Amino acid sequence: MEGLDGLIERLLEGRKNRGNSGKRIQLTEAEIRQLCITAKQVFLCQPNLLELEAPINVCGDIHGQYSDLLRLFEYGGFPPDANYLFLGDYVDRGKQKSTGFYDECKRRFSVRLWKIFTDCFNCLPVAAVVEDKILCMHGGLSPDMESLDQIRDIERPVDVPDQGLLCDLLWADPDRDINGWGENDRGVSYTFGADKVAEVLKKYDLDLICRAHQVVEDGYEFFAERQLVTIFSAPNYCGEFNNAGALMSVDASLLCSFQILKPCSRGKAALLE
């Protein structure tokens, strides 16, 4: 089996195929398994709260839309020439699914491979802070968070619990209509008001909270007087929304700018599967 560099080179062949018949890039189950094992080892060597330097590009939900991931790289530069932070929701609802990621793994490979993916995902770092000023997570804030060290101390691998700090970091949502904490319509975690955003920024001497987890029409959306931003990076989400996707670029001076992936027409999107 070829090495990791060879696999990456094959995956990047998608750049050549986006404009024509949309040739599918095939990896074997053994190749994917080895990729997951290698990634898992990398994740476990990293801290649970990543401490990152600018410049960096921050991306929100991808949802398996691989051709749009390549578009993001074309905007922000391909690794390793540019650094990226992805905020989660990598799989499940994009062009890379039948009725879900489990079903696709079972249909195309095996349930065993889905379990290997799950084991890998359970080792991912939970949150990140850029230059000690921009706190990033997938979902949002938690009433159980009393210090950033609590995030650092979460043991991995870990299954996401139904409640508590880790659950909230992955599932919570901002709500313009409340102060404090509210009930989340998702049936899990909480919603939080602008006052809680301001509290966290002041407590930890932060400038911005950056999260994903929700579709926003323009690819990014501010909350709490621009103290929190939601980034969503999957344009034409599920083929059902006419939303744009966005990439947030943080330069060395921590100036944040946004590059927009406009939604493609459905006819063109079909070519990118």
For residues 38 and 156, give the distance between their C-alpha atoms in angstroms, rounded to a whole number: 16
> Model-level pTM?
0.92
- Domains detected in the chain: 48-95+127-271 (3.60.21.10)
Per-residue pLDDT of the chain (273 residues; tens, 9 = 90+): 568 888 988 888 877 665 544 567 889 999 999 999 999 999 999 999 999 999 999 999 999 999 999 999 999 999 999 999 999 999 875 444 445 889 889 999 999 999 999 999 999 999 999 999 999 999 999 999 999 999 999 999 999 999 999 999 999 999 999 999 999 999 999 999 999 999 999 999 999 999 999 999 999 999 999 999 999 999 999 888 899 999 999 999 999 999 999 987 644 432 332
Joined tokens for residue 143: 């009433």
